[in-house]
């Protein structure tokens, strides 16, 4: 079956279009049937939706995909993958209607994976069979359940499944695998069509029947596409597939680790997934989902580009991405969703001292300098990867095998030398969440000295002539940026989410100077204040139209009425002590006129009263006071 026009194979795209349209037609029918048979998800304390929503969206997903596969049967669709996906749909459907124990689901997943093994679809390439078998089982069961766990917010699982399927379709098309592309675009079209009804506010949920079907399908497609790819490094293929599934893997790993350490069952439901944590940090539900879409697209896009990379370059860039994902995951894990106060609108469960418990375990394993241990490990990866990346940036495809051998020869030496210098120059003794310009200068001082000494040592050992001098300049630049990025990563993430925090009382800040910036940072970092800055008022006309950390300066006191009418704040917060008493009174009068609260941010430094000298004992005296 061939359909070619101008060298483009349109068959996969036709399959994707058919599945998309069929899903658009089937889903409204399933919604009506769900309400008729009372297949409705009611709001619960440990679930995210707030209104009754139709269930059984998996029926629409499976029906649309199955009809498309029957129509496209001429491209040689493997019956084993289709049967395995059907098994997952049926098991999920029964679980939606009557509930199946985890053990029963696991048995079904093992049977469905056995169908892939029958067709010799396995995870990895070039490994011995005794290793391929457990890796394949772990991959299929893990990804199937990962996407099932990811179905925790409107549009999340469907959107991520669509993204993954599109990436896999790209791989299949680049390798000339028409069958794989047809199946991948069928899943992408099905998930995309369902997303029309499932994106916030969702009209229907897919349920386990949909999430298990999609999870198994994308996991099996990944093995199928990998099997048809040109022979290469097994480790490269494993990393490519892992990058493609980055969001489900991150979410499942985060939930598993945090629930285990906090004494909760891994299988129980809860609002502690990556999406929920982003919302707890202040993003809207829609923005949280879009952030995860962006991560999935970025990782999948890089996985596609790996098709054109040399293995060494791929490993070097993948190392940077891996560290970025780890930083993101650690940042999300630090949000203690189990203890967040109900009076702030967040959900609460048993009061486990999660952070203290985690720190106690890490402290016991790695000692009191456990943060330095993590930093050293991350920097070592960055230093080694940067040197490899610098050569590819300098020579691109002209890099020879002999040059690569020389690079690998000096990498241990360069890594040890630079990490030692970083240690003695204090890069592992700072509290980086509060880092500023002094810490940034220290980073560039350390990386510059490390690069100079590295080049000097190689020159002394008569190894430097093997390398290009420009490589060391590029290496210094890449190392400096990456080491600084790791240090400031947590701070950057915190600033990003705080500036996009939703909810809170809308306030205008009066005073856009240093005190105003300090007030803004305090509001962003202190969730208990429950305030949302929407703009500044400042009497300095040169600041009008400017922004401070994304918050605009709206005008001066003369524009007070216009600002109140246009932005409808709930309060005005005076940020500076330098304001005259007359202007302060005028501001409060205007606030009263517009029925908004007038507040003030005050920071005072004073001397505490003197205490008597300590003589070895404490004596506490009480004195009754009476008020008239």
| pLDDT tens-digit map of 77-103 | 788 899 999 999 999 999 999 888 888
| pLDDT confidence of residue 350 | 39
Q: Please give the torsion angle defined by the CA atoms of residues 156, 157, 162 and 163, in that order, rounded to the nearest 10 degrees.
A: 60
Range from 25-34, 179-188, 264-273 carrying the lowest mean pLDDT:
264-273
> Integer distance in angstroms from the first to the last C-alpha of the chain?
98
pLDDT at 231 over 90: no
Look at residue 196 in the predicted model and tell me its pLDDT. Answer: 94
Q: What is the mean pLDDT of residues 601-611?
A: 72
Q: Are 208 and 90 in contact (CB under 8 A)?
A: no
**What percent of the chain has pLDDT above 70?**
83
- In the chain, the domains with their CATH numbers are 9-38+53-358 (no CATH), 369-498 (no CATH), 503-600 (3.40.50.720)
- Least confident residue range of 156-170, 171-185, 193-207, 366-380: 366-380
Residue-wise DSSP of 194-245: HHHHHSSSPSB--HHHHHHHHHHHHHHHHHHHHHHSPP--HHHHHHHHHHHT
Query: 210 with 269: CB under 8 angstroms?
Result: no
Burial class (CB in 10 A: 0-12, 13-18, 19+), 347: middle
**Average pLDDT for 611-626:** 49
Q: Give the model's pLDDT for residue 495.
A: 73
Does residue 292 surpass a pLDDT of 90? yes
Closest CA to 192 of 335, 65, 321, 90: 65
Helices 207-228 and 102-118: angle between axes, nearest 10 degrees: 30
Span 130-149, mean pLDDT?
A: 89
> Nearest-CA neighbor of 386 among 454, 300, 303, 301?
454
Strand, coil or helix: 262: coil
pLDDT in tens, 546-559: 988 888 999 999 99
Instruction: Indicate the pairing of strand 531-537 with strand 597-600.
Output: unpaired
Q: What digits encode the pLDDT tens for the residues 96-132?
A: 998 888 888 999 999 999 988 887 788 766 677 778 8
Residue 237: the pLDDT is: 75
Q: Residue 354: is its pLDDT beyond 80?
A: no
Per-residue pLDDT, 348: 38
Q: Is the pLDDT assigned to residue 262 strictly greater than 60?
A: yes
Mean pLDDT of the region 516-536: 84
The reported pLDDT for the residue numbered 460 is: 79
Q: Is the pLDDT of residue 433 over 70?
A: no
pLDDT of residue 403 exceeding 80, the answer is no
Residue 393 CB neighbour total at 10 angstroms: 16
- Per DSSP, which regions of 324-451 are E strands? none
In contact, 112 and 121? CB cutoff 8 Å: no
| Residue 618 pLDDT > 50 | no
- Cβ density class 191-208: b for 16+ within 10 Å, e for less: bbbbbebbbeebbbbbbb
Using the predicted structure, report yes or no on whether residue 147 has a pLDDT greater than 80: yes
Q: In this structure, are residues 59 and 93 in contact, taking their beta carbons and an 8 Å threshold?
A: yes
> Which of 16-25, 594-603, 611-620: highest mean pLDDT?
16-25
Would you state the pLDDT for residue 23? 96
Shortest CA distance to 217 belongs to which of 249, 193, 184? 184
Contact of 231 with 281, CB cutoff 8 Å: no
Count other C-beta atoms under 10 Å from residue 357's C-beta. Answer: 13
pLDDT score, position 188: 96
Question: pLDDT at position 83, please?
Answer: 93
Residues 6+ apart with CB under 8 A from 561: 590, 594
Give the pLDDT band (50/70/90) at residue 591.
Answer: very high
**pLDDT at residue 197 greater than cutoff 50:** yes
- Pick the residue with more confidence: 246 or 312? 246
Contact call for residues 221 and 187 (beta carbons, < 8 A): yes
Mean pLDDT of 217-225: 90
Distance of alpha carbon 36 from alpha carbon 61, whole angstroms: 19
State both tokens at 307: 């098709």
The 8 Å CB, 24+ separation contacts for 6-11 are 9/173, 9/178, 9/181, 11/72, 11/75, 11/178, 11/181, 11/182
pLDDT at 242 over 60: yes
Q: How confident is the model at residue 532 (pLDDT cuts 50, 70, 90)?
A: confident
| Predicted confidence (pLDDT) at residue 516 exceeds the cutoff of 70 | yes
């Amino acid at each position: 079956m061939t359909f070619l026009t101008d060298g483009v194979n349109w068959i996969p795209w036709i399959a994707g279009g058919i599945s998309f349209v069929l899903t658009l037609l089937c889903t409204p029918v399933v919604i009506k049937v769900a309400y008729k048979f009372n297949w409705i998800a009611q709001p619960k304390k440990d679930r995210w939706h707030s209104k009754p929503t139709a269930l059984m969206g998996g029926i629409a997903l499976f029906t649309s995909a199955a009809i498309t596969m029957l129509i496209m049967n001429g491209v040689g669709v493997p019956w084993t993958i289709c049967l395995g996906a059907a098994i997952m749909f049926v098991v999920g459907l029964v679980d939606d209607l009557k509930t199946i124990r985890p053990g029963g689901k696991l048995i079904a997943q093992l049977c469905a994976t056995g169908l892939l093994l029958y067709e010799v679809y396995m995870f990895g390439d070039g490994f011995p069979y005794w290793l391929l078998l457990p890796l394949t089982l772990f991959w299929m069961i893990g990804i199937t359940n990962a996407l099932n766990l990811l179905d925790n917010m409107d549009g999340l699982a469907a959107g991520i499944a669509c993204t993954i399927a599109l990436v896999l379709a790209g791989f299949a098309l680049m390798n000339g695998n028409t069958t794989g592309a047809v199946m991948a675009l069928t899943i992408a079209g099905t998930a995309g069509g369902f997303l029309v009804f499932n994106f916030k506010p969702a009209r229907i949920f897919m349920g386990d029947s949909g999430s298990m079907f999609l999870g198994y399908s994308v996991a099996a497609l990944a093995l199928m596409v990998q099997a048809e790819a040109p022979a290469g490094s097994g480790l490269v293929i494993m990393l490519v597939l892992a990058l493609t599934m980055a969001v489900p893997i991150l979410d499942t790993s985060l939930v598993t680790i945090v629930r285990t350490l906090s004494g909760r069952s891994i299988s129980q439901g809860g609002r502690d997934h990556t999406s929920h944590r982003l919302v707890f940090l202040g993003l809207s539900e829609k923005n949280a989902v879009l952030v995860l879409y962006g991560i999935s697209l970025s990782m999948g896009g890089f996985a596609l580009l790996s098709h054109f990379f040399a293995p060494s370059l791929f490993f070097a860039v993948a190392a940077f991405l891996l560290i970025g994902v780890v930083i993101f995951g650690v940042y999300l894990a630090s949000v203690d969703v189990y203890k967040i106060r109900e009076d702030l609108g967040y959900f609460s469960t048993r009061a486990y001292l999660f952070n203290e418990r985690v720190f106690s375990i890490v402290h016991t394993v790695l000692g009191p300098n456990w943060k330095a241990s993590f930093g050293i490990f991350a920097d070592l990866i960055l230093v080694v990867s940067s040197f490899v990346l610098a050569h590819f940036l300098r020579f691109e495809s002209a890099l020879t095998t002999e040059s690569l051998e020389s690079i690998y020869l000096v990498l241990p030496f360069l890594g040890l030398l630079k990490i030692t210098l970083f240690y003695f120059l204090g890069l592992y003794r700072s509290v980086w969440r509060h880092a500023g310009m002094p810490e940034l200068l220290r980073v560039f001082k350390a990386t510059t000295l490390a690069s100079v000494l590295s080049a000097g040592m190689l020159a002394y050992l008569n190894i430097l002539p093997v390398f290009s001098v420009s490589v060391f300049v590029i290496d210094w630049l890449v190392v400096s940026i990456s080491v600084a990025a790791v240090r400031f990563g947590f701070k950057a993430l915190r600033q990003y989410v705080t500036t996009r925090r939703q909810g809170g009382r809308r306030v205008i800040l009066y005073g856009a100077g240093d005190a105003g910036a300090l007030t803004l940072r305090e509001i962003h970092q202190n969730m208990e204040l429950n305030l949302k800055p929407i703009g500044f008022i400042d009497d300095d006309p040169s600041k009008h139209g400017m922004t401070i950390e994304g918050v605009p300066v709206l005008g001066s006191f003369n524009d007070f009425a216009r600002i109140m009418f246009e932005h409808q704040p709930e309060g005005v917060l005076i940020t500076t002590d330098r304001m005259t008493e007359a202007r302060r009174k005028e501001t409060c009068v205007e606030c009263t006129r517009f029925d908004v609260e007038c507040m003030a941010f005050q920071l005072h430094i004073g001397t505490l009263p003197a205490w008597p000298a300590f003589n070895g004992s404490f004596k506490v005296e009480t004195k009754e006071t009476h008020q008239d």
